Structure formats: C-alpha cells, structure tokens
Amino acid sequence: MNPALRLIVVLGCWMGTPGTPGEAASPADTQITCLSIRVNRGTEPFDLFALDCSSLPDRINGELFPVWGADPYTHGALLTLTDLAWFEEVRGNLLLEIPLQDDDRNGVPDFFEVRRAVLWQGSGIYQLQGFGSGSVEARWTRAAGDATGTCVLNLKINPFQSLAVFTHRFELLEYRGRLSYANGPREIEGYVELHGAGRPGARWTGPVRLHRTPEAPAVELILLPGAWTNEWDQPLPYPTNHLVRDVRTATNYAGYFDFEDGEPATPEPDYLTWIWTVADPNDTDGDGIPDLSEDPEALPGPVRLWIRKQGDAWELAVESARLGLCQVFEATNLENPFWQPVLTVPLTNASQTILRIRPGASPRFWRVRVD
C-alpha cells in the first residue's frame, strides 16, 4: 500500500469522536470552598487583651462559622477575651455580615474565592460578659491569589467610643483539582484529587459515587456518603450531598457540601459547611448537557472512519450511531495542516460510503465531523 494511504487510515481512525460511552474524555475541574473563615488570635495596640473566635464552647479553633436566619448577619463565633496581664478570660459571642454575592455565577461567593481580592467593610454585633453588648465595625483586606488576609474588628461601646480594636489574620480554606469519572447507567464512579490553595502539601483525595435524581436526572446529582483523606491520611467523612447543574451554563455544577468533620486536626467536629463546584468540559453529543449528567446508554457511540480499495479507487466510509450531517475536511500535510472543507454528506445509515478517492501524485489526508 502507498505510504500516504497508510497515513490516511491511521488519521481517519484517530480523528473519529473519542472515548468510550460513560468514560470522561478529560477530567472535570473541581473546587471545594469552606464557608467558615479561620480567624487567628487578634491583638490590640496596647497588648493588654487578646480576642479569639471559635465554634466550640470549650476550645478555641479560630472558626467564624456560617449562620442562617440571622439577617443581615451571615457568620458568627463564640468569643474569648483574654486579659494578658492576669490571664483572665471572658466569654461572649459575635455576629458579622459577610458579603455573599457571586458576580461570576460559579456558585461560590466572591469573598471566599482565593483568586479574588477582598476589600470590604461590614457591620456586626457582639456581647461580652461583664462588658455588655454593642456594635462591630469589621474591615477585611486580602490580595488576589493570597489565601490569608487581615481583619480589623472594632468593638464599639457606643457610636463614639470603642471597647477595643483587634487586628486578626484570617485564612480562607479552598481546595482545587480534578474529578475523573466514569458514567455508568445507574451510578457515576469517580475520584477527586484536590490541593489546598496557598498551603503547599495540603491535599485531599478520595472516591466519589453519584446518582442522577429520578425527578431531574440532567440537573441534579446525589453524592452518596463516603470519605476522602488528607495529606496525613486522616479521614474526612461526609454524608449524602447534592450537586446541581447551573442550566445557564454548559459546564457548571454547584452545591452545599457538609462534612462530618472538615478539620480532623481538632478534637471535635468543626468547619462543617463547604461549597463544592464542578466544571465538566465533556459533552459527547453536543446537546449542552455535560456528560456527567448524561445516561451513557443514551449517548451516541464513537464515530469511526475507515478506508477500503474498490477497483482502481479507494472508498472513504464512516460508521456512526449518530445520523446527521457529515463534513469531510482535506489537508495536504500533517506538519502544518490546513483542513479545507470539501464535502458535506447527510448520513442516513450507520455505515455509509462518503467519498471515492483516486490515487494522486501527492499525499492527501482526510478527517470527518458528524453533527
């Protein structure tokens, strides 16, 4: 056989629609973002007092956690005010307003995305035993791409006087990585590998098992209970969670993600509420629904291109379960190919001859696209 024709055979098979039904051609991008903020101990200018936040009544874990039903406030903490001279502690609580707008509509509030800068001034209220209660002025600053920033909490006794002004370092907890998956008729099995933003070595890995909901199989997925592990092989168990596709986009999913314990390094469950997002670029049938939500039995099989000799000519044929328009493209080289459309043929059969080729003086190469 002419060497050029051998190349045609290899090229034709390779250029067909890739993949096996159910197996993603490429991993989906995924991110999991904690809705709690880790706030370090705050100090005031005279070093007389320190202020700590926690979600635990008997321990300090630095968690400023999300609250519901406390509008306009979105986050709260248990407070410990420490007299650094006498080491006496006073307990209290705090509610703060954190912005939750999501300008890029990816499911994650902009404030919590490490890639975005933060410059925000909000309000709050506090109560401390022996000091009473008052309002809070909170100023948050963080550079884009930096997981840590600065928070200044001004605890007001009245509109004209402050109890103290505390400066804290805070940290966002965000993990980014890939979701590899194989989509079965009843269950989607996959594996996540995530890396902590701004924390070298921080890594979460583990399996995922998803079901499509009977009511909205193309929109909502159910994550079955399971567990991931961190870089120390500590388990991160989670119950049932839901992942919902944003029908305004072709790729994006988002949903609240609850862990049984989101920070296993602490002795009690904490950092529980996260947001999980997935961006799946795979859409085998081109219907605008990512393969993650497709029933693989409903997806068309791969397109195969083959060639055979008939008399003094060669026939180019295509096999495709998808019937539609088949476009044929031709190029004269593969080093810097210019694929010129030469023919459009309606496919009416699963196997169909689309082009007769007579050998020429120079090699030619073909590929097809089925719409």
Cα–Cα nearest to 61, from 89, 82, 40, 87: 40
SS3 195: strand
**pLDDT of the residue at 9:** 39
pLDDT digits (tens, 9 = 90+) for 185-226: 778 999 999 999 999 999 999 999 999 998 998 899 999 999
**pLDDT of the residue at 350:** 78
Here the tokens at position 139 are: 């100023």
**pLDDT of the residue at 367:** 80
Q: Which residues pair with 365 in a beta bridge?
A: 331
Here the tokens at position 214 are: 């009977």
d(CA 163, CA 161): 7
Here the tokens at position 199 are: 């924390």
pTM: 0.77
* CATH number assigned to the domain with residue range 3-17+300-370, chosen from the 4 options 2.40.30, 2.60.40, 1.25.40, 3.30.70: 2.60.40
Cα–Cα nearest to 198, from 151, 149, 236, 234: 149
DSSP string, 219-269: TEEEEPSEEEE-TT--EEEE--EEEEE-TTSSSEEEEEEE-S-S-TTSSS-
- CB count within 10 Å of CB 186 equals 7
- Sign of the four-CA dihedral 263, 269, 275, 276: positive
Helix residue ranges, H only, the chain = 3-14
Q: How confident is the model at residue 29 (pLDDT cuts 50, 70, 90)?
A: very high
**pLDDT of the residue at 208:** 96
- CB count within 10 Å of CB 362 equals 7
Here the tokens at position 267 are: 């002795």
Here the tokens at position 366 are: 């073909």
- Read off the pLDDT of each residue in 123-141 and give the average, rounded to a whole number: 97
- Read off the pLDDT of each residue in 304-310 and give the average, rounded to a whole number: 79
Q: Which residues contact 353 (CB under 8 A, 6 or more apart)?
A: 315, 316, 317
**pLDDT of the residue at 299:** 58
The sheet with strand 351-357 has its strands ordered as 304-310, 313-319, 351-357
Q: How confident is the model at residue 229 (pLDDT cuts 50, 70, 90)?
A: very high
